[in-house]
Amino acid sequence: MKRTNILIALASLVIPGLITGFWFYTSAPAREPVTLPDFSRIDIPHAPLSTPIDHPKPPVETTTTILFDLSHGNQVSLSEIDPFIRSIESLGGSIEVTSQESFLGDALKHANAFVSLAPTIGYFANERAALLSFVQRGGKLIIASDPTRTMQSFMAAEGAPQGSAAPTGLSGVDAANLILEPFDIAILDDYLYDMKSNEGNFRNVIFSDFHDNSLMAGIEKLVIYGGHTVNSHGDSLTESRETTFSSLTDQAGIFSPFALVKYGAGSVLAMGDLSLLTTQYAYSADNQVFVENLAKSLTENNRGKTLSDFPSVFDGDVALIPDEGIQMNADLVTTIAKLERMIGLQPGELTVSAKNDANKNRIVLSTFSASQDTQDIIKNLKINLSPESKKTTPTPTQETEKIPTATATPPGEMGDTYNPKGTDYEDIIPGGTTGEPEGPAEIEIPGMDVIATKNLGVVGLIRDEKQTTLVLLASSQENLQSFVDMLTIEGLSGCFIQENVAACKISASNMIPKG
């Protein structure tokens, strides 16, 4: 009885399952074949790579200095832009970086170009003024911003101590535009994208329409891996296709990530993309050709130095030529050593010579009673050593208003050397000799008319294709040595500069006898 019940129970469980299986699966299961894509025919977009350009070994002696900014929160390191750095060095460029401890204007004096990539900290007003003057004097300025390298930062208030916070927030675009505004250039806070003309990604925009400019020579295709739009009245260098959009408006149009503007004797290049210069993307399409062209533009055609660059006015060796009226003595040797340090020459780069070498830079030391050779130099500076004296005829009123004094004349006939108030140190020269002027009592300087030579120091700069000449003039050798002392301390900060001539007062503090 129990066995029968068990068999009935098992049959109740098994038989329905067998019936269901035979109902749904009448035959052996057949696997449907899976259709796979034809991978051999798939054309995946990829970056067209170019053959790396071989760079020659950097020359032993550099020919120019390129100053890179690393003091304004720049979101880049020199190792990231190694292709750009190696191109500059192979062409004779020397790489220097800014320091927060030194004033930017001083660093720019010996530079041919200034490069600031992805700055995120604003520039102070005096730094912006120094960059403006640098470009006017022939300097080359490159400012780059990148949509992938931006951050919100805070700019210190004008005149506030370094490191102090201010309520003004800045993005990378804002920091770049602070510099670019005087040059009528603006980088937009957007990114360009193209759904048709791109390299694997809509933000990797391809440019193939270029202007006739040396920066674009030999280029057929550039790939911009995310770039800002740059607007200006200058040369845009390249233009996008009509299928390119700006994220700012999501409207199609013609855009450019570059702007090149001529300003004064120099130029400004604004870039809305930094990837072109980096190791990761420099070898895509013709990007490295652009890198090479940019390096050439920075290292060739060194700008002509002016007195605004003083004392960094020389490149290479310099000969110091004392004029005929200058005597070689121990004091003059000290003066020469100070000149060498002031100009920033290395030991051995400054030599003393009695003769001029037309192919070598020179410093001429002279009084206003100059030799004929030095007078020729002075004439080139448009300085007149024999101006017409402007005499004032005393009026009768001036003669009759003299009131007799009851003070007796001191015994001993002191004459002009007597000074009841004490020694007039402006007439005393270190070493105990008087500073009697040698040569004319008055000279005529461009922009200043006629001026007395007493306690006057003059700096003149002449440049031609073969040499640079720096002339230092004073009324006597003793005054000249005091003048050099003053220049090593103060530079031309207290001088009146008119083009290539600076007129300075030799201050009394440098003329007081020591010891």
408: left (phi over 0), alpha (psi -120 to 50) or beta: beta
Residues 121 and 155: beta-carbon distance below 8 Å: yes
Cis link prior to 311 (omega < 30° from 0)? yes
Neighbour count for residue 292 (Cβ, 10 Å): 22
Q: In angstroms, rounded to a whole number, what is the distance separating the alpha carbons of residues 349 and 336?
A: 12
Model confidence at 125, in pLDDT bands (50, 70, 90)?
A: very high
* pTM across the whole model: 0.75
Lookup: tokens for 80? 């990231």
Query: Which residue's structure tokens are 């301390």?
Result: 489
What's the pLDDT tens digit per position in 380-395?
Answer: 999 998 887 554 334 3
Query: Within 10 Å of residue 317's Cβ, how many Cβ atoms?
Result: 15
Query: 330 in helix, strand or coil?
Result: helix
At 297, list the tokens: 């533009």
DSSP three-state, residue 259: strand
| Amino acid at site 409 | T
Q: Which of 136, 138, 175, 132 is nearest to 153 (CA)?
A: 175
pLDDT > 90? residue 215: yes
| Alpha-carbon distance values, 233 to 97, 227, 230, 266 (Å) | 30, 19, 10, 16
- Is the pLDDT at 483 greater than 50? The verdict is yes
Q: What is the DSSP letter of 57?
A: P
Can you read off the two tokens belonging to residue 262?
Answer: 């001529």
The average confidence (pLDDT) of the chain is 82
Q: By percentage, how much of the chain surpasses pLDDT 70?
A: 83
Confidence tier at 469 by pLDDT (50, 70, 90): very high
Residue 484 contacts residue 507 (beta carbons within 8 Å): no
Q: Which helix (H) or strand (E) is 498 found in, with range?
A: strand 496-498
User: Residue 336 gets which letter from DSSP?
Assistant: H
Nearest to 323 by CA among 282, 274, 277, 377: 377
Q: Report the alpha-carbon distance of residue 62 to residue 59 in Å, rounded.
A: 6
Pick from 140-149, 159-168, 202-211: least confident: 159-168
Cα–Cα distance for residue pair 80/275, rounded to 1 Å: 10
SS3 22: helix
Q: How far apart are CA 338 and CA 334, in angstroms?
A: 6
Domains and CATH numbers, the chain: 64-157+166-299 (3.40.50.880), 307-387+422-510 (3.30.379)
Closest CA to 279 of 80, 64, 41, 478: 80
Residue 490, classed as helix, strand or coil, is helix
Q: Give the whole-angstrom CA distance, residue 313 versus residue 335.
A: 18
Distance CA 484, CA 506 (A): 9
Residue 119: pLDDT band (50, 70, 90) is very high
297: CB partners within 8 A, 6+ apart: 140, 214, 215
Partnered with residue 245 across adjacent β-strands are: 193, 252
Q: Are 190 and 248 in contact (CB under 8 A)?
A: yes
Which residues contact residue 498 at a Cβ distance below 8 angstroms, ignoring those fewer than 6 apart? 445, 446, 447, 448
Q: Of the ranges 58-72, 279-293, 344-358, 416-430, which is most confident? A: 279-293
Query: Of 411, 426, 316, which Cα lies nearest the Cα of 62?
Result: 316
Task: Give pLDDT tens digits for 387-441.
Answer: 875 543 343 444 434 444 444 444 444 444 434 344 343 443 333 334 555 678 8
d(Cα 342, Cα 460) in Å, to the nearest integer?
A: 16
Q: Which pLDDT value is given to residue 464?
A: 85
Q: How does pLDDT run across 18-49, given as a tens digit for each residue?
A: 888 777 776 666 677 788 888 777 776 666 66
Report the pLDDT value the prediction gives residue 325, as an integer from 0 to 100: 81
Q: How far apart are CA 240 and CA 251, in angstroms?
A: 13
Residue 21 CA to residue 360 CA, distance in Å, equals 106
Q: Over the stretch 67-111, which tens digit does the pLDDT of each residue have?
A: 999 999 899 999 999 999 999 999 999 999 998 878 899 999 989
Instruction: Name the nearest CA neighbour of 459 among 450, 447, 471.
Output: 471
Question: What is the rounded average pLDDT of the residues 153-179?
Answer: 64
Q: How many CB atoms lie within 10 A of CB 486?
A: 20
CA distance linking residue 312 with residue 308, whole number of Å: 9
